[in-house]
Amino acid sequence: MLIILANANLPADLIINIEWLFMETLSILFVLVLLLSLVIQLWLSNRQTKAVSQNRGSVPVAFAEQITLQQHQKAADYTKAKLRVGKIELVYGAILLLIWTLGGGLNWIDTFIRTYAYGDIISGLAVFFGVMFISAIIDLPFTLYRTFKIEQRFGFNRMTAAQFIKDMIMQTILTLVLAIPLVGGILWLMEGVIEGASPFWWIYVWAVLLGFGLLISWIFPTFIAPLFNKFTALEDKALRERITTLMNRCGFTSNGIFVMDGSKRSSHGNAYFTGLGKNKRIVFFDTLLETLDDNEVEAVLAHELGHFKHHHVRKGLILNAVITLVGLAILAWLIKQDAFYQTLGVDHASTYMALILFSMVMPLFSIYLQPVMSFLSRKHEFEADDFAAEQSQPQTLITALVKLYRDNANTLTPDPLYSAFHDSHPPAPVRVAHLSAKIS
């Protein structure tokens, strides 16, 4: 648009005024998009709060024999407590985004770093991790409140202050070790793009991100996860043989069946398999094994193996790869648009600032993909449940799930629209009804 105006032989003052009006209009549009995203999320949260509150007084019939009214009400109160702090975070996050962008926060940090003239890559790393560090510090009160207030109040938190600090230090070190070379490599690939060089940098960056993701998936079980938790081989011989038989029957190979000391941080229970290729592991939280009997553990594992059998991990990797490629293609166009920077409060165009702005702003638009992603995830969960029902008894999986709903204080009465938008797993009543239909 600015090139067209320049070639139209208009007075300079008029061009400046039109350019200013154009930028102001784009900034207003950005604020409107931000407000729309905020309103939608707050509206959905209010629907969820209302649904949980209205059904707090009675346990749904399908769960009445296994979950007491007191346990049901605990789940309702736990859900509402998380929603309350979540709504505050949504408003806070929107205000913070405005401060970073239109408020000049990013521009101030960028100007400060540039005064030392370290070069674009070093400057980019300094700005990138400076923003990340400041954001982490600002978000820390919310993390502390969720851990030591909400989780503590409902009896889930088992983390000490010392463990919290240790985890935070370890996470910071690990992030720096992994992210500095990754971000530095990405910025190196992007260098010169403003001047028109490296037109296919976004494809190279995509390949790097894809390779990095696969590497992390491969090394996570044996190198990263043990930094935070202790993993011991499953000692129960009868259960181990039962699990091994199930895995052989499903054609699943792993390099071990492990128990993780999840109880040192939380009483929540879970099970998962992780890793790629021959580096896959079956992992049970110790809290899960304390809750479920052997039949139920087998049913839960059969569900997890259902994800393997239906290639859900592979499909997820492919889908994420496609979305990442499309996102980088959009960034490759935006990075050359002066309006992209100026609309969002940044005076100096640079590759690293484009990357930071894009990562901050894109969630406002990708949020509309969330229902689609949730739908696909729930579809995969149904497929895994179907597989588990074939490998074990549907009633056994139902019993195991209800115990997990009870012990993890999952609400049994979510709002359908909120659930469709946010939940990666089917709502408890829908999931149990689906499995109950398979009982012969």
Task: Please give the residue that has the higher pLDDT: either 345 or 23.
Answer: 345
CA dihedral of 80, 81, 86, 91, whole degrees rounded to 10: 90
101 neighbors 360 (Cβ within 8 angstroms)? yes
The helix/strand/coil state of 191 is coil
Specify the pLDDT at position 3: 47
- How far from 59 is each of 42, 70, 266, 405, CA to CA, in Å? 26, 9, 26, 13
Specify the pLDDT at position 191: 78
DSSP code string of 132-171: HHHHHHHHHHHHHHIIIIIHHHTT-B---HHHHHHHHHHH
404 neighbors 303 (Cβ within 8 angstroms)? no
317 neighbors 261 (Cβ within 8 angstroms)? no
CA distance 286 to 149: 24
Q: Is the pLDDT of residue 6 over 80?
A: no
Length of the chain, in residues: 440
Specify the pLDDT at position 5: 46
The helix/strand/coil state of 425 is coil
Specify the pLDDT at position 196: 53
Specify the pLDDT at position 338: 87
- How far from 370 is each of 167, 223, 421, CA to CA, in Å? 30, 31, 6
CA distance 137 to 151: 21
Q: Is the pLDDT of residue 266 over 80?
A: yes
Domain ranges of the chain: 1-440
Assigned token pair, 186: 């990405």
Question: Which residue spans within 313-380 are E strands per DSSP?
Answer: none
DSSP 311: T
15-19, 115-119, 340-344: which is most confident: 340-344
* Residue pLDDT, tens place only, 219-240: 888 888 889 999 998 888 899 8
Specify the pLDDT at position 269: 81
Specify the pLDDT at position 4: 47
Q: Is the pLDDT of residue 268 over 90?
A: no
DSSP 156: -
* Residue pLDDT, tens place only, 290-326: 889 999 999 999 998 999 889 898 899 899 999 999 9
Distance of CA 310 to the CA centre of its chain: 22
Q: Which of 242, 288, 284, 272 is nearest to 392 (CA)?
A: 242
- How far from 392 is each of 80, 269, 283, 296, CA to CA, in Å? 35, 21, 19, 9
Q: Is the pLDDT of residue 274 over 90?
A: no
Q: Is the pLDDT of residue 50 over 90?
A: yes
* Residue pLDDT, tens place only, 155-175: 999 999 999 999 999 999 999
Specify the pLDDT at position 17: 56
The helix/strand/coil state of 306 is helix
Specify the pLDDT at position 381: 95
The model's confidence at residue 193, banded by pLDDT at 50, 70 and 90, is: low
Specify the pLDDT at position 189: 87
Sheet bearing 281-285, strands edge to edge = 231-233, 257-260, 281-285, 271-274
Specify the pLDDT at position 271: 81
